[in-house]
Amino acid sequence: MRLDRREIRDLLVAWLALGLAFAFFFERVRPNTIVPFLLSPAFVSAMVVSLLTVGVGFLLHELAHKVVAIHFDQWARFQADYGMLLVAIAGGLAGIVFAAPGAVYHRGQLTNRQHGLIALAGPVTNLALAALFVPVSLFAPLLGSRGVTINLLLAAFNLLPIGALDGATVRDWNTAVYVLAFVPSLLLAIWAIFGF
């Protein structure tokens, strides 16, 4: 799998912007406290946690789409949506979590099954990452619990069967596979919010 210079730049900018947006959100930073926050040790800590949880979850989700698309002989590349990245940062400051940082675009001939598997790869990656963060919570409770929660929420959200989200593509390919992926993801996300 190769990444060109622009794709690397888009992935890095999206990763950093999401880290900043979620650092603002988790630390409840408001516009009038941005400068003191950015100059504080709390900023470094919040950025590291956000980059390692939300950022890694996002990056590997998108790269999973790309890897599976390439496996099916597709041309595939990630493209950041800079406008939506600014919305994510502003949302973090407003206390609202909403992020649509970009997407992997691919071209080539695909069957419905292949298209569905490309879509499913991202949420499945988030579920695997959530499982990897469980043992992390034993020695780094904030990092581990946030990694579990964020990745379970990313999986469930992306499996919603609406618009351009992965769930709509998976459901259009195979309803049974969709239900088998979405129902556990949704239940795990609810558990993460209320019980983890």
Matching residue, tokens 């469980």? 134
Rg of the chain over Cα atoms, rounded to whole angstroms, equals 17
Query: Residue 72 corresponds to which amino acid?
Result: F
Q: Which of 62, 65, 87, 136 is catalytic?
A: 62
State both tokens at 109: 């001939």
Question: Is 62 marked active-site?
Answer: yes
DSSP readout, 71-115? HTT-EEEEEE-HHHHHHHHHHHHHT------EEEEEES---HHHH
What torsion, rounded to 10 degrees, do the Cα atoms 100, 126, 122, 165 define?
Answer: -40
Contact call for residues 125 and 181 (beta carbons, < 8 A): no
Q: Are 133 and 148 a contacting pair, CB within 8 Å?
A: yes
For the chain, the straight-line distance linking the first and the last C-alpha, in angstroms and rounded, comes to 36
Catalytic site positions: 62
